[in-house]
Structure 1
């Protein structure tokens, strides 16, 4: 069988995500007939049908579903390979560090810069959506992440924990309180994955509270807009609160919610002395009152 063309895989992913050849063609900036020919060519190369298509809909076949599951990591790996090769061509003179909102990483970054004046340290802000993707696709060498994450293919080093608070609208019935129990929130609409807040999930299950569909948000700012409008609540690490103060929301302490775990993560296949050194610095300089395991 011929080698699979990565460009055709990108075309396939666009159609699989849109389930519409016209919209996928617009996204790719190519003509729809060209896209259709490329997908047919990919099907011929693989010897399978990837889509069932009629005038009203486009759906993935079982083979298409499997390719969708496998193509994303393959393309990310190819992109990461290209970035690492280019980085190697420049020499070991750059370390790119990712970090999640609310985390201050100045201390280990500055300590690393002091040890290696010739090293260029770059910072990339990540989100819940891409905090591990940024590692896999090579955008960052190492990243401060908030658990839970899919740790497959990663080396993960615990750093510290920090309390979490709940965010409600300023008009919410609980907004005047400073501290509440998680049971007080069991019938609220949680604007994030319940698996991220297991205690809330457990209480909601016990009380047989329904779980409305969770909207897809890509930033803290988006979530806070919905909270302020009274459409639901979210839980955030305590440090995030300091960065997002506004009069139309309120932060409440919830002592019976488990703290958030902050860790450092990098590719398990990366055996870099610089990464190892940075990991040691990050662990040594983690907040003393909240270090992991203490």
Structure 2
């Protein structure tokens, strides 16, 4: 069997995501007949059926589901290779460090100060993102390293260095009775009448079941808490973004959270290695 080509993988992913050959063709900017022929050739070469076709469109087979996961990873790797190659040609470029907006703020500031004090270190550009986005930024080459949190973030396939371990706090509306408590347990915050825990998307983009609002951004969450519509439990150092209408109360039995610096295992960058050493020098400070 011949090696798969990135072009046909792009065609396949478009159809798999649209589940409709016409919409996929429009997205790709090609006519539908050559797209359909390309997918049939791909199926013939692999010896499997990737789609069940019907009048309304198409549905992925089990084999198609597997190829979709693999194809996305391959296309991400190809894009990352191109971005890293272009950036490597510019020795003056800054390193890109991805981190969740509002998370590990004090640690991030100390890291930037340490880099600024090292005359041999590459400058660092901070790329602020939303919850769960760091892994994608690392995999597609838009970031060189990232501050992430175990057990919540997707660390699969990355090299990591543990930096600090900390407890968690509940972020509550200041007017709520629980906000007057000195400490809380998880049982205190899991079934609060009229104040459900906010729901973040899982790593696959789906939301867990529950009565709390579905949120994607810190700004959504901050306002919903201020309005008395939800609460959340987060690492203690991530409360830097809390509003005056919020109160943070320690949750004594919440799982401990480890902040790590992560980077692609294929990296041979001396600048990345230097950044990791600077971060490791701050170990233990949340």
The TM-score range, normalised by the shorter chain, is: 0.7 to 0.9
**Are 1:11 and 1:39, in contact at CA under 8 Å, matched by a contact in 2?**
yes
**Are 1:98 and 1:144, in contact at CA under 8 Å, matched by a contact in 2?**
yes
1:2: which partner in 2?
2
Per-residue CA shift, 1:197-255, capped at 9, x if unaligned?
Answer: xxxxxxxxxxxxx95388764322233445456654322222332213153x5433212
2:98: which partner in 1?
98
Q: Secondary structure at the match of 1:17?
A: helix
Q: Secondary structure at the match of 2:89?
A: helix
Q: Secondary structure at the match of 2:178?
A: coil
Per-residue CA shift, 1:228-286, capped at 9, x if unaligned?
Answer: 56654322222332213153x54332122133211111122223332222212112235
Query: 1:78: how far off?
Result: 0.9
1:55: which partner in 2?
55
Structure 1: segments with no counterpart, 5+ residues: 197-209
1:147 to 2:160 alignment:
no
Q: Distance in 1 between matches of 2:76 and 2:161?
A: 23
Query: 1:38: how far off?
Result: 3.9
Q: Which moved more, 1:180-189 or 1:168-177?
A: 168-177
Matched ranges for 1:1-294 at <5 A: 1-33=1-33, 35-91=35-91, 93-101=93-101, 102-104=103-105, 105-116=108-119, 119-148=122-151, 149-169=153-173, 174-187=178-191, 189-192=196-199, 211-212=209-210, 217-227=215-225, 232-245=230-243, 247=245, 249-286=246-283, 288=285, 290=286
How many matched pairs?
Answer: 275
Change (3 A) 1:130 1:223: same
Query: 1:76: how far off?
Result: 1.2
**Are 1:155 and 1:268, in contact at CA under 8 Å, matched by a contact in 2?**
yes
**Are 2:121 and 2:274, in contact at CA under 8 Å, matched by a contact in 1?**
no
**Are 2:122 and 2:271, in contact at CA under 8 Å, matched by a contact in 1?**
no
Structure 2: segments with no counterpart, 5+ residues: none
**Are 1:159 and 1:286, in contact at CA under 8 Å, matched by a contact in 2?**
yes
Q: Which moved more, 1:174-183 or 1:59-68?
A: 174-183
**Are 1:193 and 1:214, in contact at CA under 8 Å, matched by a contact in 2?**
no
Per-residue CA shift, 1:51-90, capped at 9, x if unaligned?
Answer: 1121235211121011012112111111111122212322
Change (3 A) 1:59 1:246: farther
Root mean square deviation of aligned Cα: 3.3
